[in-house]
Structure 1
Amino acid sequence: MSRKKKAAVITILVLLAAAAALWLALPGIVRAKAEKAAAERGFRIEIGDLELGLGKIVMRDVRVTPERVPVDPFTVRTVTVLTSWLDVTEVRADGMEIRIRGDAREVAGALKGGGGGPGSGTRKKLVVTGVSVEWPGPCGGEGRATVAGVSVTDKVRADSATAECYGATMRADGLSLEGRDILADAVRAEYHGFEMTADLVRASAEGELELSAGRVRAERGDLKATVAGMRATASRNSVSFEAKSTSLSAEGLEEDLRIEGVRTSLELGRGERESLKVRATAESVDGGYRSVTGGPVKARGVSASGSLSWGPGWTRPWRADGWEMKVGETSIVMSGVLEDGSWEASLGLSSESGCGGVLRSIPEGMAPRLEGFEAEGPVKLTLEVVRRKDVTVKAVVKNGCKFTSWPEGMSRKALRGKFSRQVYGAGGELKEADTGPGSAGWTPYGRMSKFLIASVQMTEDPGFFRNKGFDVQAIENSIKANIESGRFTRGASTVTMQLAKNLWLTRSKTVARKIQEAFLTTYLEQILTKEEILETYFNVVEFGPSLYGVGPAAAKFFRSSPEDLTLGQSLFLTSVLPSPKTIWFGPDGRLSTSRVKWMHVVMESMQKRGLITEEELAEGLAEEVILGGHAPGIGDAGTAGPVKMSPGGLSPDWSQ
């Protein structure tokens, strides 16, 4: 063998030996380099098996211990590193179960402090598959969160994620990470009976959330709610919400409440006082709550806006400012302050279109008795209530409402002749009754005792001949008394308001009835004189079960006629109007001592007001008001009808 050939062979052998030595040393070099790269990213790793191949390095059972983030040590089943010459081109990791420890604040703080993560700081292509994540106690040490089927290729994806926190549960499917945004194809969440599903959810690292084509269902006790076709966006300080339709069912609703075309925006303000600005609109609202609407209604063009504010940590005072609710052409403005031991509130109602605008704004079906009415003229209501040591109430009513059209059956002509109306029978059933001037039992105003007219001014409506159907001072006193007692103890109905109710409305205590009553009161004051109002009132009001009109009442109670009623008899009849079913007479046909004393006090007040003279007062104080007009004898009740025993004593037999 020539010298040159020997040199070549030796060179090859040396290179092969060097390559063999390098090959034998390479696993150690790879381990050291991998451990160094991991340490730079805040991880300590221990490689189980390492296999070198052509253009790739395969590591199995890699134990990873995070040192900068609150994650328990975990094992990666396989890590494959693809190389081109000595350059790493791609890293593939498969099969790992990660367990996070600590709550959300601790994890966020660690990440914000530069915790890094797998692949952090590298530009090599990273492919991760078969990852599951478990996070116990993310909510202050409570709850649980999991992520399954995580993969990282050109983007981060996950098959599903679940979370349980503060009583709420959530599941999201088809998750992906696009830039700094997280997308989910479907989300389902539940919280104490409230259930939400959404077709698409987007959440950003900046705290923004977008939800579309969503559906929310809630059920708790008698309350059931559904929101369909929902789109919502939210950030740290604001929320906007749209829904194609919203339905609500609950005990007390006449039927399901359905709201179409809902748009809502919320804006949170931070500073010395936190605040929340709200704006909401709805194209239509269908449904009704019995105590408010009395039945199903339809409202169009409903909106509400305003702001709430409070001190640090939800401390008082709480304020509600600039609240305005619009229904059709009517605007209702509200504001208030709640402090420790005191509060104040204000309310105003008006319409740029005046009385006609308010009338047209009443939801369809809420005021059936006002159908066919048209009106014009200004109208405005303001109310201010302050409660500190005492309650103060200030009400202002500006009523320039003038009716220009009305149903023929409710006209002045109809009321000044014979007409039919509905009354309650002894069993509470409604029935038709004929009444009106010229009908049997009708008493004209000129044939009524002057004491009857004086008594009703004392017991029912002190300002009857001065007011226009509404007594503002009585309204203020009623609100004050009811707030102080914490329950309804005093009303503010005038004679005209009572007449409107007795002629055309039911006994139901609803907001709808009071709205109709207010308009019909104004209407009666417009078409009738004060004397005609009193005449109609005394002939239609109830003085006892199925006992309507002062003529039958005077005969039943006192064997008398309305024009011959004494002061005591007149005062008794007007005093029973608020509670006509109460039995006032004792077994001997006489009033109780306490009732007599009350009547004497009222008589003295009547004299001071000039409603009766001193001589008439003296006669009234000496009078003894007795059932049947005198102390009843055995089997003798005269035309007042037979007397029978009742739970409270003697009373006329209303069945006669």
Structure 2
Amino acid sequence: MVTKVEAKYPAKLHIGKSGFANLTSVEMENIALVPNYGDTLLQTKKVHASISFRTLLKGRIIFNELEVSDAYLTAVKYPDNTNNYSFLLGKKPTEPVDTTKSRNYGKLLNDLIEKAFESVPDQVNFQNLNVSYTSPHRNIAMKMPELTIADGEIKTALTVKTDSLVNNLRAHGTIDPGKYFISARLYALDTAGIVLPYVKQKFGGDVSFDTLAVSLSDKRFSRDMLTVRGNASITGLTVNHSRISDTDVKVKSSAVDYVVSLGPDYYAVDSLTEVRVNKMKIYPVVQFRTKPAKDLVMRVHTAQTPANDFFGSLPEGMFDTVEGIKGEGSLSYTMKTHINFADLKHLTFDSDLEGHNFKILQYGKEDLSKMNRPFQYTAYEYGKPVRTFTVGPGNPFFAPYNSISPYLKNTIMTSEDAGFFRHKGFHEEAFRQSIATNIKAKKFARGGSTISMQLVKNVFLSRKKTIARKAEEALIVWLIENNKITSKTRMYEVYLNIIEWGPNVYGIKDASRFYFGKQPSELTLAESIYLAHIIPKPKAYRSAFDAYGNLKPHVAWYYRLISGIMLRRGQISQEEYDALQPAVDLYGRARDLIVTAVDTTSVTDTLQLAPIDMMD
């Protein structure tokens, strides 16, 4: 044995003592595997192994019993990038990859599962097993006082240290290699739970949980397709990431009964899969093909869930504004999407939250009906409050809906949300277009927000771009629109009275005076188009003008676009369209900030008149 190992690998194998305990069992003591270059990789005090005769006929050695005590596996990566373990990997010469052939990950996983289960001894007893990995940038150490497998029952306790993070764990499970069945539960021995290492370093967040249970109950491999079934559950899940939420996101309990299939260039989550989040049941279907082009089909629906169970099942920390909301009836959600990555113009997306005899009985932390009456609004910049004012008649800068120029109301709806008075808070076509744009750009380059969504974001939520905020925004919009909590006219009135239009300029009355020194009712078509133009980037209000206060040539396209749409919709006449010029006259504070060129008119006139005066 020593000769074979040393002939195959650049290492020395030391065995202090070895011999047969009986016809099928061998015992070895004081074993060490030392690479020719590097520190000792493996050493163990004692090994007792009982070999299965039936497996020898297959040309493989599989143990009936395996006992190991005081074992140390020590992997080291040195500063010069060499190590003491890669010699075992037996790297083969690199061959060109044939990209025309499909790689069947289902077959690869099936082979891995079968070999792993076939290699499990009937009896295992490890005592004081230690595994470590050390490199210039990382230190991992696992200490396992014991690991036993007896009569299909698995028991172990272990301590895992990754750099400064320490997890004390216990695991318990059952295994039946002949049926490819395994079920295991991992739980924490510390009150802090199990904290996943390196998540903060790699992804900028933290993930922890109390208990994790995983099982594989069945596998089928037929016609190049592997289908696996099982379940998994997790309790006390806590996720902290600035892109998800400002605070910890917590899920008390979640579970999944999964049916997953893998084949040549094909991956699927079967319709028999059921996901449970607290008291909510979710049924996902996912089909993903990688050839001839990437193609994703996804459908999700939930069972009709009693309203209070639905709200109670929402992850804590993601829906703070509606936390504590109560209702009657039930709710269900459906979503369908099909994305052919080679043909994004035909991308489909449909999403719907449906109420079944649903009625709100009690609002949560925020009163969603507060827009129906005067309320205090606080404007924020960079997360800090900059101005608080009343949205209602008590504020001299409040502009009632009927006192605002129809040009402005129609122009903003044309540019921001043409279907505002028809839809129920969402414009799915705009959302489909934003998905396609973002996929092409490989980043978040375009949103699909309606006026309703912008309003909810400003009135009820922070303006931070987190997943939690977007999810809660969508839920609040649905609640307000589908339960008719606030009329469309009042929603638009509030919107026009709170949005930002410049430096500490909030609301249309303030904006009308700031730019044009007039009332909102007096705004012209050209002035209205300019005001609509700066809504997406109000702090860049000066960029549309030159130093003399004239609109720059590049703004003309926006005037033609918006006025053309308004003409086709009958919101302006042909005469108004023909007479429109991309020009506005600035007055008031805006002129002082925008017009920076020196007026040389009076100087020029004096120079021209001087010769005449001299002649006199």
Selected match of 1:608 from 561, 565, 568: 568
What pairs up with 1:229-628 in 2 under 5 angstroms? Answer: 229-232=170-173, 237-245=180-188, 246-248=194-196, 250-251=199-200, 256-266=206-216, 269=219, 271=221, 272-311=224-263, 316-322=265-271, 323-332=273-282, 333-340=284-291, 341-353=293-305, 355-375=307-327, 376-391=329-344, 392-400=347-355, 402-406=359-363, 410=367, 412=369, 414-425=370-381, 429-431=384-386, 433-438=388-393, 439-525=395-481, 526-582=484-540, 583-619=543-579, 621=580, 623-628=581-586
* Post-superposition offset of 1:639: 5.8
CA distance in structure 2 between the aligned counterparts of 1:149 and 1:160, rounded to whole angstroms: 7
CA distance in structure 1 between the aligned counterparts of 2:228 and 2:84, rounded to whole angstroms: 24
Distance 1:292 1:156, change over 3 A: closer
* Post-superposition offset of 1:473: 1.8
CA distance in structure 1 between the aligned counterparts of 2:306 and 2:571, rounded to whole angstroms: 38
Instruction: Please list the CA deviations of residues 497-544 of structure 1 after superposition, one character each: whole Å capped at 9, or x if unmatched.
Output: 111111111111111111221222123322211111110100011112
* Post-superposition offset of 1:594: 1.8
Instruction: Please list the CA deviations of residues 469-500 of structure 1 after superposition, one character each: whole Å capped at 9, or x if unmatched.
Output: 11122222221221222222221111111111
Distance 1:537 1:351, change over 3 A: farther
CA distance in structure 2 between the aligned counterparts of 1:397 and 1:308, rounded to whole angstroms: 26
* Post-superposition offset of 1:329: 2.7
Report which of the two has the higher share of strand.
1
CA distance in structure 1 between the aligned counterparts of 2:315 and 2:195, rounded to whole angstroms: 18
Instruction: Please list the CA deviations of residues 305-352 of structure 1 after superposition, one character each: whole Å capped at 9, or x if unmatched.
Output: 4344434xxx52333434543222334424131313312131424342
CA distance in structure 2 between the aligned counterparts of 1:564 and 1:581, rounded to whole angstroms: 24
* Post-superposition offset of 1:443: 0.3
Distance 1:285 1:157, change over 3 A: closer
What pairs up with 1:96-175 in 2 under 5 angstroms? Answer: 102=8, 118=20, 120-121=22-23, 131-135=29-33, 144-149=41-46, 159-163=69-73
Is the Cα–Cα contact under 8 Å of residues 136 and 144 in structure 1 kept in the other structure? yes
Between the aligned residues of both structures, percent identity stands at 22
* Post-superposition offset of 1:277: 3.9
Is the Cα–Cα contact under 8 Å of residues 399 and 520 in structure 2 kept in the other structure? yes
Distance 1:217 1:159, change over 3 A: closer
Tell me the residue number matched to 1:72: 3
Residue identity opposite 2:172 in structure 1: R
Tell me the residue number matched to 2:169: 228
CA distance in structure 2 between the aligned counterparts of 1:562 and 1:545, rounded to whole angstroms: 18
Is the Cα–Cα contact under 8 Å of residues 171 and 185 in structure 2 kept in the other structure? yes
* Post-superposition offset of 1:467: 0.3
* Post-superposition offset of 1:447: 0.5
Residue identity opposite 1:188 in structure 2: N
Distance 1:357 1:479, change over 3 A: farther
CA distance in structure 1 between the aligned counterparts of 2:166 and 2:217, rounded to whole angstroms: 24
CA distance in structure 1 between the aligned counterparts of 2:330 and 2:153, rounded to whole angstroms: 49
The answer to which of 375-384 and 361-370 deviates more is: 375-384
Other structure's SS at 1:367 match: coil
Distance 1:273 1:492, change over 3 A: same
CA distance in structure 2 between the aligned counterparts of 1:587 and 1:493, rounded to whole angstroms: 33
* Post-superposition offset of 1:387: 1.5
* Post-superposition offset of 1:459: 0.8
Paired residues in the alignment total 506
CA distance in structure 1 between the aligned counterparts of 2:501 and 2:518, rounded to whole angstroms: 15
Distance 1:546 1:383, change over 3 A: farther
Tell me the residue number matched to 2:146: 200
Is the Cα–Cα contact under 8 Å of residues 355 and 379 in structure 1 kept in the other structure? no
CA distance in structure 2 between the aligned counterparts of 1:308 and 1:485, rounded to whole angstroms: 30
CA distance in structure 2 between the aligned counterparts of 1:168 and 1:327, rounded to whole angstroms: 45
* Post-superposition offset of 1:275: 4.4
CA distance in structure 2 between the aligned counterparts of 1:217 and 1:411, rounded to whole angstroms: 48
Distance 1:160 1:435, change over 3 A: same
Distance 1:476 1:286, change over 3 A: same
Is the Cα–Cα contact under 8 Å of residues 324 and 334 in structure 1 kept in the other structure? no
Distance 1:485 1:255, change over 3 A: closer
Other structure's SS at 1:476 match: helix
Distance 1:296 1:627, change over 3 A: farther
Residue identity opposite 1:530 in structure 2: K
CA distance in structure 1 between the aligned counterparts of 2:162 and 2:354, rounded to whole angstroms: 43
* Two-structure CA RMSD over aligned residues (Å): 3.9
Higher relative contact order by CA 8 Å / sep ≥ 6: 1 or 2?
2
Is the Cα–Cα contact under 8 Å of residues 585 and 627 in structure 1 kept in the other structure? no
* Post-superposition offset of 1:423: 1.0
Residue identity opposite 2:213 in structure 1: R
Is the Cα–Cα contact under 8 Å of residues 289 and 295 in structure 2 kept in the other structure? yes
Is the Cα–Cα contact under 8 Å of residues 445 and 535 in structure 1 kept in the other structure? yes
Instruction: Please list the CA deviations of residues 148-182 of structure 1 after superposition, one character each: whole Å capped at 9, or x if unmatched.
Output: 35689xx997653334689898xxxxxxxxx9523
* Post-superposition offset of 1:239: 4.0
* Post-superposition offset of 1:646: 8.3
Instruction: Please list the CA deviations of residues 31-82 of structure 1 after superposition, one character each: whole Å capped at 9, or x if unmatched.
Output: xxxxxxxxxxxxxxxxxxxxxxxxxxxxxxxxxxxxxxx4439xxxxxxxxx
* Post-superposition offset of 1:410: 2.6
Is the Cα–Cα contact under 8 Å of residues 143 and 160 in structure 2 kept in the other structure? yes
Distance 1:289 1:351, change over 3 A: farther
CA distance in structure 1 between the aligned counterparts of 2:32 and 2:48, rounded to whole angstroms: 15
* Post-superposition offset of 1:229: 2.6
CA distance in structure 2 between the aligned counterparts of 1:294 and 1:476, rounded to whole angstroms: 27
Residue identity opposite 1:339 in structure 2: T
Selected match of 1:212 from 136, 149, 156: 156
Is the Cα–Cα contact under 8 Å of residues 401 and 489 in structure 2 kept in the other structure? yes
* Post-superposition offset of 1:552: 0.6
* Post-superposition offset of 1:554: 1.2
CA distance in structure 1 between the aligned counterparts of 2:439 and 2:141, rounded to whole angstroms: 38
TM-score (normalizing by structure 1): 0.68
Distance 1:465 1:226, change over 3 A: same
The answer to which of 230-239 and 384-393 deviates more is: 230-239
Residue identity opposite 2:373 in structure 1: G
CA distance in structure 1 between the aligned counterparts of 2:368 and 2:47, rounded to whole angstroms: 77
CA distance in structure 2 between the aligned counterparts of 1:551 and 1:434, rounded to whole angstroms: 13
* Post-superposition offset of 1:435: 1.8
* Post-superposition offset of 1:203: 5.3
CA distance in structure 1 between the aligned counterparts of 2:377 and 2:231, rounded to whole angstroms: 45
Runs of 5+ consecutive residues of structure 1 not aligned to the other structure: 1-69, 74-98, 108-115, 170-178, 629-636, 648-656
* Post-superposition offset of 1:136: 6.4
Residue identity opposite 2:455 in structure 1: L
Other structure's SS at 1:365 match: coil
* Post-superposition offset of 1:232: 4.7
Distance 1:209 1:610, change over 3 A: farther
